[in-house]
């Protein structure tokens, strides 16, 4: 990953992660609101439900040694480690996130079996065939080389293991809607700027990359409707006085991210932003 982009991503999450945890909890990802997006449930429960629904969808019932690629402050990592009684590793570009995740592991007495470190997902610091579950929940959008990212996930996955990816995508361009319009490209450019993204691709493009990397039993799905309510919930919670006070202490980039939350909500509404799922196995 380019040093400048890596630095921008690290700084963004160094500055914002503490506030996110205070207001929204340890899970830094979308929630699941039912296939039709109409479940009226607590946002934190919706985030846990997303993890469980992903595991069910990918037919993953167990794991002994897993890696969470783009782990945040360890929400998914610790949840999966506890659920499967597994050894787990989380990697992130943010030193603040890695330190907080390590602290959280100690708080639940998992410091012997769960570890976190600062590492680049395009150069995962582990040997080939090392993990039986490679989990990436909303980090693919940050990757400047999607092919290298999936190649690394494939490399560290054990034969017989499962790779689960959930990531922001843009709408497919191989349909009647055709290529992205100038207005859509401008909308995406604003999202990239605010949230430190190099670019996103469509789910069919991810499928092709996964196939080229060697993944087998590839399955994909679009859960945009199921997760779309999340952004309006976040927008509402950002109006809380505690959130506003925290934002003012977190620096301009975090404030900007909050001010432009509507970019994501409107992106889902117009069908431009998609929540793409992909899983595959290694022979």
Q: Provide the pLDDT confidence category of residue 256 given band limits of 50, 70 and 90.
A: confident
What are 179-211's pLDDT values in tens digits? 999 999 999 999 999 999 999 999 999 999 999
Q: Provide the pLDDT confidence category of residue 235 given band limits of 50, 70 and 90.
A: confident
CB-based contact 94:10 (threshold 8 Å): yes
CB-based contact 55:272 (threshold 8 Å): no
Q: Is the pLDDT of residue 113 over 80?
A: yes
Which residue shows structure tokens 């506030």? 19
Q: Is the pLDDT of residue 239 over 80?
A: no
The number of C-alpha atoms within 13 Å of 81 and in the hemisphere containing its C-beta is 24
Go through the domains of the chain in sequence order and give each one's CATH number.
3-171+180-281 (3.40.50.150)
Q: 262 or 124: which carries more pLDDT confidence?
A: 124
CB-based contact 209:150 (threshold 8 Å): yes
Q: Provide the pLDDT confidence category of residue 65 given band limits of 50, 70 and 90.
A: very high
pLDDT of residue 276: 98
Per-residue pLDDT, averaged over 176-180, amounts to 93
User: Which residues sit opposite 90 in a β-bridge?
Assistant: 68, 116
User: Which residues sit opposite 96 in a β-bridge?
Assistant: none
pLDDT of residue 33: 97
């Amino acid at each position: 990953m380019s040093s400048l982009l890596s630095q921008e991503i690290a700084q963004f999450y160094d500055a914002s992660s503490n506030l996110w945890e205070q207001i929204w909890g340890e899970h830094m990802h979308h929630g699941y609101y039912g296939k039709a997006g109409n479940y009226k449930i607590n946002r934190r429960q919706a985030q846990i439900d997303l993890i469980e629904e992903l595991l069910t969808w990918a037919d993953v019932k167990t794991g002994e040694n897993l890696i969470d690629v783009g782990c945040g402050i360890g929400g998914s990592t610790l949840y999966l480690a506890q659920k499967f009684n597994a050894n787990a590793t989380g990697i992130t570009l943010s030193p603040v996130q890695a330190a907080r995740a390590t602290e959280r592991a100690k708080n639940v007495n998992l410091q012997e079996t769960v570890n976190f470190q600062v590492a680049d997902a395009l150069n995962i610091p582990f040997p080939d065939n090392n993990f039986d579950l490679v989990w990436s929940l909303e980090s693919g959008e940050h990757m400047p080389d999607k092919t290298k990212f999936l190649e690394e996930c494939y490399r560290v996955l054990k034969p017989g293991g499962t790779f689960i990816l959930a990531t922001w995508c843009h709408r497919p361009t191989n349909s009647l809607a055709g290529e992205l319009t100038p207005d859509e490209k401008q909308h995406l450019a604003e999202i990239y700027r605010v949230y430190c993204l190099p670019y996103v691709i469509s789910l069919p493009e991810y499928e092709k990359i996964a196939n080229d990397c060697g993944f087998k039993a590839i399955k994909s799905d679009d859960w945009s409707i199921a997760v779309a309510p999340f952004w309006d919930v976040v927008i509402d919670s950002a109006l809380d006085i505690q959130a506003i006070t925290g934002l003012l202490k977190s620096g301009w980039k975090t404030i900007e991210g909050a001010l432009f939350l509507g970019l994501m909500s409107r992106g889902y509404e117009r069908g431009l932003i998609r929540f793409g799922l992909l899983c595959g196995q290694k022979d």
